[in-house]
Structure 1
Amino acid sequence: MGMPMRVKGTKTGAIVASAVMGSVVLSGCGGDGESEAKGGDASPSTSGSDGAREQSTTEVRAAYDKTAEAESARMTIQMKLSAAGKTITSDGHGVVDLAEGDSVMTITAQGKTIEQRGIDQVLYQKSPGQKTPGGKPWIKIDLKKVAAQQGMSNQQIGDPAQTAAYAKAITDKDVKNVGSEKIDGVNTTHYKVSVDVSKLPGGDRMSKQLGPTLPMQVWLDDEGRIRQQQIDMTVKAPASANPDDSASPEELKMNTVMQFSDFGTEVDAEAPPAGQVADMTGQALQGSQQQG
């Protein structure tokens, strides 16, 4: 059974990693911004103009660095996961250090509230009624070790130094300026983007599960920072190890909407006292092995 996890960080790669890493399912934090693009009534201003499209691509690629330069932000995430006819939604809010990737979040999923901290690529979670070895209130999972087992580089787990890798994976031909929209009262420019999965670190492996491209939408403010990002992905589960299981590979559909506001807000991310933490990294590794 996979553990509820959210891979910290603000980058596309963190979200991709959270889907591909097997034991990751619940994540979340939810904004109330519109998660659907406004349907087709505004024709892209870039149509027929290579120059405008190149400008859009430049602005979207630069947005990751410009957002990180803000150093910190208040963040909300809304995530919807659908698989095997079931849908799980999770919502949460908190603050994130955009330079370091550390975060402090409160997540609500399936009627439970999870307190979560991400510090130096270690995930800490506290949930009411959570059964842990020794009855300790917190669990921790070392995301670096899980990523290594999955054949992914550490940098995929929200390492700000790798933002350029994700920005470069945005394909020139698939950036469209959809038009102006207000997000949480802020004027933004809405772009539809396609990410070339093969250009991401570990992209060969991820392409097998996500397909060649990843559809993404971003809303940038007047300073070029990301105010909202939406990713819709379909993850193909690895083929079953059971030869008697002739069912087709299961698919997991994931919709994630992140919003950023209050740039420069204070982030006080500290690990819980060691005596209150049960290390569940081994169980997470075991669970992800069983899933793929």
Structure 2
Amino acid sequence: MKTSLRRSARRRAMGAGFAALLLGAGAVGCAKGEDSPKMTPVAAVAKAAKNAEDITSFRYRMTGKVPEQGRVKADAAMRMKPTVAMSMKMTALDQGADGTAEIRLVDKAMYMGGGAAAAKEMDGKSWLKFDLSELGAEGLDDPSLGAGQADKNPADQSTFLAGSKDVEDVGTETVDGVKTTHYKGTVTMKQLRESLKGEDEATRKRRFDQFTKLGVDAVTMDMWVDGDDQTKQFRMRGDGDKGPLDMTITLLDINEPVTITAPPAKDTMDLAEMMDEAQS
């Protein structure tokens, strides 16, 4: 039973890893408003990316395909201030029963919920807890623990398209009832690296590493910008050595209250305690 439990915990941790990784995939702010004066595609994309820096909380949906995980869908909410918190309900559509999970990040602890399937393997408890404060800096950066990007603002990645050499205005489109301008371009990893030269090392690592880990050499990016120069939707596509990436993030809310709570203690199993018991 212990071996099965550890195996199940690892599977769910990897599932959390792909979700947390995608939290850094470019979700940025959205709002409705009047059309802004016409700008060049590069200037429009850069302005939308700059506006994303003011995000303090948001909700969004995510659909697409992720290397090694296949087709995924998720609904998520994240708060950046006053403290970082995150909640995501996700489904890896190609992984059957093991592909559905919920993740919460609260008070430097990551919780993964597997519902009834997890409860069968964890003495009736449906949540697994990772205490990130005990893992230290290395633990926070370990994607297998689902923490890789969970405490970072996903809006960081919205700057990528501004580094493209071929940004173009595709035309006007309506996204989720909002009139937007669709921009598109391709960013190579070399261009991305050059665009980050003026940033500090932590920022460069945060924005660049997720793609190198997937073995992606170039990313085709689409951005739908509304009349308030905010991004309503974002799509990224690329071919990595671990499979294709094709992910679309649509913002449904921005800077609205986001409250996330830890699961009940009676329904939670602490991973550290579980491993100590297994070793003894």
Instruction: Give, in whole Å, the separation in 2 of the partners of 1:282 and 1:145.
Output: 20
Give 2:212's aligned residue: 207
SS at match of 1:61: helix
Pick closer, same or farther for the CA change 1:280–1:179 going to 2, 3 Å.
farther
Structure with the bigger RCO (C-alpha within 8 Å, sep 6+) is 2
Cα drift, residue 204 of structure 1: 6.7
Give 2:113's aligned residue: 126
The runs of 5 or more residues in structure 2 that have no matched partner are 1-9, 28-37, 197-203, 275-280
Give yes or no for the alignment of 1:223 onto 2:223.
Answer: no
Give yes or no for the alignment of 1:79 onto 2:64.
Answer: yes
Question: What is the letter of the counterpart of residue 65 of structure 1?
Answer: E
The runs of 5 or more residues in structure 1 that have no matched partner are 15-45, 237-250, 284-292
Cα drift, residue 222 of structure 1: 1.3
Higher helix share: 2
Cα drift, residue 269 of structure 1: 0.4
Give yes or no for the alignment of 1:137 onto 2:126.
Answer: yes
Give yes or no for the alignment of 1:187 onto 2:179.
Answer: yes
Range with bigger deviation, 118-127 or 267-276 = 118-127
Instruction: Give, in whole Å, the separation in 1 of the partners of 2:273 and 2:240.
Output: 24
Give yes or no for the alignment of 1:148 onto 2:141.
Answer: yes
- The C-alpha deviation readout for 1:89-146, integer Å capped at 9, x for no partner, is 2323243325455233333344555333233564322222115544421013467645
Range with bigger deviation, 197-206 or 183-192 = 197-206
Alignment of 1:157-176 (within 5 A): 157-160=150-153, 163=155, 167=159, 170-176=162-168
1:7 to 12, 20, 40: 20
Pick closer, same or farther for the CA change 1:221–1:57 going to 2, 3 Å.
closer
The percentage of counterpart residues that share the same residue type is 22
Equivalenced residue count is: 225
Instruction: Give, in whole Å, the separation in 2 of the partners of 1:259 and 1:267.
Output: 17
For the aligned residue pairs, the C-alpha RMSD in angstroms reads: 3.9
Provide the TM-score with structure 1 as the length reference: 0.60
Cα drift, residue 65 of structure 1: 1.7
Residues 24, 157 of structure 2: 8 Å contact kept: no
Question: What is the letter of the counterpart of residue 239 of structure 2?
Answer: T
Cα drift, residue 181 of structure 1: 0.7
Give yes or no for the alignment of 1:265 onto 2:256.
Answer: yes
Cα drift, residue 189 of structure 1: 1.4
